[in-house]
Homo-oligomer: A and B are copies of this chain.
C-alpha cells in the first residue's frame, strides 16, 4: 500500500489506481527485458506452481469446503476443483506459453521516405490488462502467463469462491517471476472482498488499457455495459452452419453432428442450422440430429420433415442454447442464408458446407463474422486449434482483434522514425 492510500480513505478507485500505477511501473521494466528473460521467468513460475503444490491444493480445499457450505452446484465445484493432475496441467500451460514466439519487437513494416527518414512500425505491449473472471482458478495462471509473455502487466480479479486458490497460485507464480527478475507487481490480484473494485477497474481509463472478461454471459454483459476502458470479449456465440444445395450429404451430417454435439457448452457450438431448400437430404440430416438426442426447433418446413421437431419461436433465431438444442430453418438459397446470418449471427463463427467452391468463396467473402468457415465444424473456433498456442479469449467486436486472441492480440504498435537531422519544409 502506498503512502498516499495509507492517509486517504481507501476507496475502490484509489485502490485500483494504486495497483495500476505500480503495475505500470513494473510493466515498463517487463517490456524492456529481453524476450528470453521473460520466457525464463515464466518457466520459473511454472516450476514454482509445482513446488508449491501442497499450499495450493490446501488453499483449494478450503475454497471447496466453503463452496459446499454455500451450496455451490456440482458443476461450479468441479470448475473450482484442483488436484495433482489439474495443477500439473496449469503448470505445463504456463511453460507452453513461455515457449510461444514473442510478438514484442516484431517489425510490422518499414519504409524509407524520399527525404531519408526511415520509418518502422514495431509491436509493443498494450500495457496493463485487467482480467475479470469467475470460478476457474487456472485462469489466474493462464491469463497472467499470456500477459507476461507479451510484456503486459495484469490486474486479476477472480471469483470470491476461488479466493484462497487464486492467492496461493498467484503467490507461487509471482515468486517464480521474481526469481526470474520480473517485478512482482507486474501481476497482482485485486481483492475480492471489495465488490466495487470491479466497477473501479471498468472505469480506470488511462490506468488499465484493456479489460478481458472471462466467464458467463451476465459477467460479460455487465462488463460491456459499464466499461469505459476497451473490452475484448464475446457476449454470444450464435454460430450458424448453412448446408448448401451442393453439400455432400455425408459431410453435411458429420459436420452438423460435430458442430452441435461434440461439446454443446462452448461458444463455437452451432446454435442454428440453415438447410438449403434444394439440399437433397434434409430429412436424413434432421433425423440424424434427433437420433443423437438433440432437440430441434424448426420452422414449418423442418417440422414437416419429422414429428419430433418442435416449432421454433421468433426468439429461437437469436438464442445461444449452449445445450443439445438447435434451431433449424429452410432457406431459399445462398443469399437467403447470408441474409439470415447477417440478421441473427453474433459475428462469432459461421460456416457453409458445400462442394461448390464458387458458392463457398462467395459466402467466405460476404459473411462478415470474426470467423467464417467452409466445410469445417464451427467447434474449431479456438486459439489452440488455430495454432496460436493459447488464447486470452475470443472477440466478436470489430476493432483491434477478432476471433481467437492470443499473444499478438495483447500487443499494439508504435512508429519509430530514424532521421539524420531532417526538418520539415
Contacts and interface: CB of A to CB of B under 8 A. Distances in A.
Contact of A421 (B31, B255, B421): B255
Given A119-B387, A386-B119, A371 B32 contact: no
A420 interface: yes
A109 to B, nearest CB: 10
A68 interface: no
A363 to B, nearest CB: 10
Given A380-B417, A417-B372, A417-B380, A412 B402 contact: yes
A31 B255 CA distance: 30
A210 B403 CA distance: 19
Copies in the complex: 2
A59 to B, nearest CB: 34
A421 B360 CA distance: 13
A422 B28 contact: no
Interface in A1-47: 28, 31-32
B373 A230 contact: no
Interface string A177-192: 0000000000000000
A113 interface: yes
B423 A258 contact: yes
Interface in A387-402: 387, 398-400, 402
A423 B254 contact: yes
B399 A412 contact: yes
Contacts of A91: none
A216 interface: no
B417 A371 contact: yes
6 smallest CB-CB distances across A and B, nearest first, come from A376-B419, A258-B423, A373-B417, A379-B424, A251-B421, A375-B419
A374 B412 contact: no
A183 to B, nearest CB: 16
A169 to B, nearest CB: 28
B230 A380 contact: no
Nearest to A342: B28
A414 B371 contact: yes
Contacts of A210: 398-399
A202 interface: no
Given A373-B419, A400-B399, A365 B209 contact: no
Given A380-B117, A419-B376, A403 B412 contact: no
